[in-house]
């Protein structure tokens, strides 16, 4: 990794910038603080924080859309939204929540935590990392700009053909949806390559794959799912784009097209997608539960391999979304069986978490509460999921509110609870102050209450036969009561999110009068807790040498012969001190990722409105790529260009590598 230099190299702010402009356009940015530093940063921590902030921004948009839906359904014959507008609102709600909230929060944690958990200074390609974020943000803004330019997409978040064709959806909403998601897809794909390379290549000495914290493992699996699932969606979206924009015949039934093509491609992407959304949350919980149970995770290899198994099996179950589409009895039976099997590795995880808590000295801090919330709520969602593997039952429930209840239990009750737990857990590490515990607990109970009030009644509504995606219902079918409960629940849920946002600002104001949190406020287990809070730019100084799972914990605690925990060192002794970071080489900031990402939505607007504009976008993209390539990855010392995306010095020969690293390599070839 050759990041520690023995000669004094400057930090990005080192001031040695001689105004060298590689392409005559920009001076190399050097700002380390202030607004400008955020636009040009390549620091994985700042990028992670921006992912999180953008996701919360989109959460507010998507949440408002959810509230509109619930207000419309408050009473029979609601008049708040027209049928047309209702179609747009639920489509954009689903799209926003999946692609612009849950996925980027996963990306936020993965970006922030993976380098810290494996003991690296940054990700493998820092500038590509910045590009991924900007492309995601611009893609998200692009999709939402459809509200101002003729209305949102109205085909449901899975946009089945032929409803997505120009004949059935003549506005540009679906074009915005389609092109915007191609852009966020590019972001996800580059991010996936980046993080996989980071995990495979940049681990600290002794950090073998089977010593990695479980969050890193689960994030790695979900990045692999992204790597392979995103191109499937992109290929489907290219077909849709050509159909809508250039009159191709992929979904044109009159020319013999088969609308099931879209359904298959979408769900081949879509099912791995749901697992890649939930796995990072599983990872967070697998790190939080042992911390607050003060016990190691029960069955580390089982948790890891069940995560990998979920990743693989997730590719063989997609057609269970299509049982009523007429794919035939053999296909239905096959996919029924595979769907039943995939419950096994998920069940293994639930067992492991329960067994981790069993007999532990449980401490119910906010992160722990949210984690237990995930375990319980996800189990409910998982059980209703297994019900859907039974094809006759699934046929009854397809497109009813029962399905809506199911996937909100897994995605909100599962993924989102885990993420909020992760926010409470890692807040002090990222920002240097704790979120208020009492507010946190109130936050949890309010969210749990609101969540169950909203989505539990939907099970009943679904079984009673209420269809999803219909903008209203008639009185007299018994839908009134539970719809009212769900709407009340939705507002309770919204207030719990508001409480969380309030807690951020409240705790920050209060923190000024409190002592600094220190590196390890939770008495935690993994190595990211041995560095100062908030994390310094250089992460670790020195890079720790890892000898086992939960390495940091075993620097603090030992065991007596009869298995009792004994404290062997105080946190202050084993934690790292904040240093001035001199002599640590970090990648330099750059404008090019921002410029490159900016070209993408311009080109996309062009594809919708005028091909001349698309040309402008394309010129920006191409120019930015050349600017990027010509810019040395690390400006302050031009000779030292060994870890940028386009340069590499392979000076390592195997001879110089000490034994422990050979051990790393052996594990490597297995993984």
Binding positions for another protein, 437-466, rule CB under 8 A = none
Nearer to another protein, 168 or 626 (CB): 626
Task: Kindly state whether residue 203 participates in binding another protein, applying the rule CB under 8 A.
Answer: yes
- Candidate list 555, 591, 631, 636; residue touching another protein; CB under 8 A: 555
Residue identified by tokens 């340069």 is 647
Q: Going residue by residue from 212 to 231, which x/- string records binding to another protein, judged by CB under 8 A?
A: ------------x--xxxxx
CB of 13 to another protein, least distance (A): 24
Task: Kindly state whether residue 642 participates in binding another protein, applying the rule CB under 8 A.
Answer: yes
Nearer to another protein, 115 or 462 (CB): 115
587 vs 15: CA distance, rounded Å? 14
CB of 28 to another protein, least distance (A): 18
Record the tokens describing residue 307, joined without a space: 């995560």
Nearer to another protein, 207 or 369 (CB): 207
Binding positions for another protein, 417-436, rule CB under 8 A = none
593 vs 625: CA distance, rounded Å? 9
CB of 78 to another protein, least distance (A): 39
Secondary structure percentages of the chain, helix, strand, coil, to 5: 65, 0, 35
Task: Kindly state whether residue 640 participates in binding another protein, applying the rule CB under 8 A.
Answer: no
- Candidate list 8, 19, 256, 329; residue touching another protein; CB under 8 A: 256
Distance of CA 205 to the CA centre of its chain: 27
CB of 294 to another protein, least distance (A): 16
Stretch that binds another protein, among 313-321, 344-352, 379-387, 430-438 (CB under 8 A): 313-321
Task: Kindly state whether residue 395 participates in binding another protein, applying the rule CB under 8 A.
Answer: no
Task: Kindly state whether residue 575 participates in binding another protein, applying the rule CB under 8 A.
Answer: yes
The neighbour count for residue 276, using CB atoms within 10 Å, is 29
Task: Kindly state whether residue 513 participates in binding another protein, applying the rule CB under 8 A.
Answer: no
Task: Kindly state whether residue 252 participates in binding another protein, applying the rule CB under 8 A.
Answer: yes
Nearer to another protein, 83 or 572 (CB): 572
CB of 266 to another protein, least distance (A): 11
Stretch that binds another protein, among 151-159, 195-203, 423-431, 478-486 (CB under 8 A): 195-203
Tell which residue, 170, 153, 163, has the closest CA to residue 89. Answer: 153
435 vs 426: CA distance, rounded Å? 10
CA distances to 59, 72, 457 from 64, rounded to whole Å, are: 8, 12, 20
Tell which residue, 14, 26, 5, has the closest CA to residue 627. Answer: 26
Cβ–Cβ < 8 Å for 144, 129: no
Q: Which residues pair with 557 in a beta bridge?
A: 567
- Candidate list 547, 565, 598, 613; residue touching another protein; CB under 8 A: 547
DSSP 61-86: HHHHHHHHHHHHTSSTT--SS-HHHH
Task: Kindly state whether residue 131 participates in binding another protein, applying the rule CB under 8 A.
Answer: no
Q: By CB under 8 A, how many residues form the interface with another protein?
A: 95
- Candidate list 545, 609, 615, 619; residue touching another protein; CB under 8 A: 545
Task: Kindly state whether residue 544 participates in binding another protein, applying the rule CB under 8 A.
Answer: yes
Cβ–Cβ < 8 Å for 411, 102: yes
Q: Going residue by residue from 94 to 113, which x/- string records binding to another protein, judged by CB under 8 A?
A: --------------------
Nearer to another protein, 582 or 648 (CB): 648
Task: Kindly state whether residue 515 participates in binding another protein, applying the rule CB under 8 A.
Answer: no
573 vs 322: CA distance, rounded Å? 58
CB of 86 to another protein, least distance (A): 32
Stretch that binds another protein, among 47-55, 103-111, 471-479, 539-547 (CB under 8 A): 539-547
Tell which residue, 287, 118, 248, 143, has the closest CA to residue 608. Answer: 143
CB of 216 to another protein, least distance (A): 13
CB of 47 to another protein, least distance (A): 17
Task: Kindly state whether residue 42 participates in binding another protein, applying the rule CB under 8 A.
Answer: no
Task: Kindly state whether residue 234 participates in binding another protein, applying the rule CB under 8 A.
Answer: yes
Record the tokens describing residue 645, joined without a space: 């995306």
173 vs 171: CA distance, rounded Å? 6
- Work out the angle at residue 61's Cα, subtended by the Cα atoms of residues 161 and 41, and round it to the nearest 5 degrees: 100
Task: Kindly state whether residue 543 participates in binding another protein, applying the rule CB under 8 A.
Answer: yes
Task: Kindly state whether residue 331 participates in binding another protein, applying the rule CB under 8 A.
Answer: yes
Stretch that binds another protein, among 79-87, 172-180, 428-436, 644-652 (CB under 8 A): 644-652
Q: Which residues pair with 565 in a beta bridge?
A: 559
Non-local CB neighbours of 227 within 8 Å, separated by 6+ positions: 189, 192, 193, 196
122 vs 417: CA distance, rounded Å? 28
Record the tokens describing residue 171, joined without a space: 């506005």
Cβ–Cβ < 8 Å for 103, 181: no
- The backbone torsions φ and ψ at residue 543, rounded to the nearest 5 degrees and listed phi first, read -65, 125
CA distances to 2, 220, 302, 310, 567 from 667, rounded to whole Å, are: 21, 16, 17, 21, 31
- Candidate list 16, 21, 84, 258; residue touching another protein; CB under 8 A: 258
Binding positions for another protein, 645-664, rule CB under 8 A = 645-654, 656-658, 660-661, 664
DSSP secondary structure letter of residue 254: G
- Candidate list 476, 577, 612, 666; residue touching another protein; CB under 8 A: 577
DSSP 296-317: PPTTHHHHHHHHHHHHHHGGG-
Task: Kindly state whether residue 618 participates in binding another protein, applying the rule CB under 8 A.
Answer: no
Nearer to another protein, 158 or 315 (CB): 315
Task: Kindly state whether residue 627 participates in binding another protein, applying the rule CB under 8 A.
Answer: no
Task: Kindly state whether residue 76 participates in binding another protein, applying the rule CB under 8 A.
Answer: no
CB of 195 to another protein, least distance (A): 10
CB of 236 to another protein, least distance (A): 7
Q: Going residue by residue from 267 to 306, which x/- string records binding to another protein, judged by CB under 8 A?
A: -x--------------------------------------
Cβ–Cβ < 8 Å for 430, 519: no
Non-local CB neighbours of 51 within 8 Å, separated by 6+ positions: 104, 105, 107, 108, 111, 133, 136
CB of 77 to another protein, least distance (A): 41
Stretch that binds another protein, among 77-85, 138-146, 254-262, 345-353 (CB under 8 A): 254-262
End-to-end Cα, the chain, rounded Å? 20
596 vs 619: CA distance, rounded Å? 10
Q: Going residue by residue from 519 to 538, which x/- string records binding to another protein, judged by CB under 8 A?
A: -----------x--------
CB of 509 to another protein, least distance (A): 32
- Candidate list 238, 350, 439, 499; residue touching another protein; CB under 8 A: 238
Stretch that binds another protein, among 63-71, 79-87, 89-97, 557-565 (CB under 8 A): 557-565
**Strand-pair category, 557-559 with 565-567:** antiparallel
- Work out the angle at residue 151's Cα, subtended by the Cα atoms of residues 150 and 155, and round it to the nearest 5 degrees: 130
């Amino acid at each position: 990794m050759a990041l520690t230099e023995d000669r004094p190299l400057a930090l990005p702010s080192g001031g040695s910038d001689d105004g060298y402009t590689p392409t005559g356009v920009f001076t190399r940015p050097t700002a380390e603080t202030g607004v400008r530093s955020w636009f040009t940063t390549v620091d994985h921590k700042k990028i992670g924080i921006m992912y999180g902030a953008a996701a919360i921004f989109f959460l507010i948009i998507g949440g408002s859309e959810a509230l509109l839906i619930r207000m419309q359904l408050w009473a029979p014959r609601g008049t708040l939204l027209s049928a047309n507008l209702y179609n747009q609102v639920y489509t954009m709600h689903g799209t926003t929540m999946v692609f612009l909230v849950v996925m980027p929060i996963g990306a936020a944690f993965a970006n922030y935590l993976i380098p810290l958990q494996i003991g690296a200074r940054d990700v493998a390609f820092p500038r590509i990392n910045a590009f991924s974020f900007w492309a995601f943000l611009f893609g998200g803004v692009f999709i939402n700009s459809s509200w101002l330019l003729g209305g949102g997409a109205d085909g449901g978040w899975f946009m089945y053909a032929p409803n997505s064709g120009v004949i059935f959806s003549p506005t540009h909403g679906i074009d915005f949806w389609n092109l915007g998601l191609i852009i966020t897809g590019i972001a996800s794909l580059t991010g996936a390559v980046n993080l996989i390379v980071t995990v495979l290549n940049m681990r600290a000495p002794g950090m073998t794959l089977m010593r990695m914290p479980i969050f890193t493992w689960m994030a790695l699996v979900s990045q692999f799912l992204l790597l392979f699932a995103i191109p499937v969606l992109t290929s489907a979206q290219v077909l849709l784009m050509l159909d809508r924009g250039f009159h191709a015949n992929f979904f044109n039934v009159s020319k013999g097209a088969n609308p099931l093509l879209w359904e298959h491609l979408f769900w081949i992407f879509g099912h791995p997608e749901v697992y890649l959304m939930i796995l990072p949350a599983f990872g967070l919980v697998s790190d939080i539960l042992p911390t607050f149970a003060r016990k190691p995770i029960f069955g580390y290899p089982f948790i890891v391999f069940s995560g990998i198994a979920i990743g693989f099996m997730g590719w063989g179950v997609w057609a269970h979304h299509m049982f009523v589409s007429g794919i035939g009895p053999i296909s239905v039976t096959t996919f029924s069986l595979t769907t039943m099997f995939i419950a096994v590795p998920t069940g293994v995880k639930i067992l492991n978490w329960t067994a981790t808590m069993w007999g532990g000295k449980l401490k119910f801090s906010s992160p722990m509460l949210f984690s237990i919330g995930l375990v319980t709520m996800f189990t409910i969602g998982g059980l209703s999921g297994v019900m859907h593997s039974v094809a006759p039952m699934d046929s009854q429930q397809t497109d009813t509110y029962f399905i809506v209840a199911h996937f909100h239990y897994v995605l909100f009750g599962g993924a989102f609870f885990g993420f909020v737990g992760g926010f409470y857990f890692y807040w002090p590490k990222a920002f240097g102050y704790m979120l208020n515990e009492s507010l946190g607990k109130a936050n949890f109970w309010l969210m749990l209450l609101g969540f169950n009030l909203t989505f539990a009644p939907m099970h009943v509504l679904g079984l009673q036969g209420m269809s999803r995606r219909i903008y209203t219902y008639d009185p007299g079918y018994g839908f009134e009561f539970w719809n009212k409960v769900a709407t009340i629940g939705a507002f309770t849920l919204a207030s719990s999110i508001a409480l969380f946002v309030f807690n951020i600002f409240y705790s920050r104001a209060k923190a000024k009068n409190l002592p600094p949190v220190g590196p390890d406020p939770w008495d935690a287990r993994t190595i990211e807790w041995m560095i100062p809070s908030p994390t310094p730019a250089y992460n670790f100084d020195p890079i720790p040498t890892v000898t086992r799972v939960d390495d940091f914990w075993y620097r603090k605690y030992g065991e007596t012969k009869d298995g009792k925990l004994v404290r062997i060192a105080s946190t202050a002794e084993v934690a790292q001190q904040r240093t001035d970071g001199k002599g640590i080489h970090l990648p330099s900031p750059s404008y090019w990722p921002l410029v490159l990402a900016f070209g993408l939505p311009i080109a996309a607007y062009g594809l919708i409105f005028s091909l001349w504009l698309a040309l402008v976008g394309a010129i920006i993209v191409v120019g930015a790529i050349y600017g990027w390539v010509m810019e040395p990855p690390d400006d302050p010392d031009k000779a030292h260009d060994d870890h940028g995306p386009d340069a590499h010095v392979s000076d390592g020969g195997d001879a110089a590598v000490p034994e422990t690293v050979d051990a790393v390599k052996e594990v490597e070839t297995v993984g």
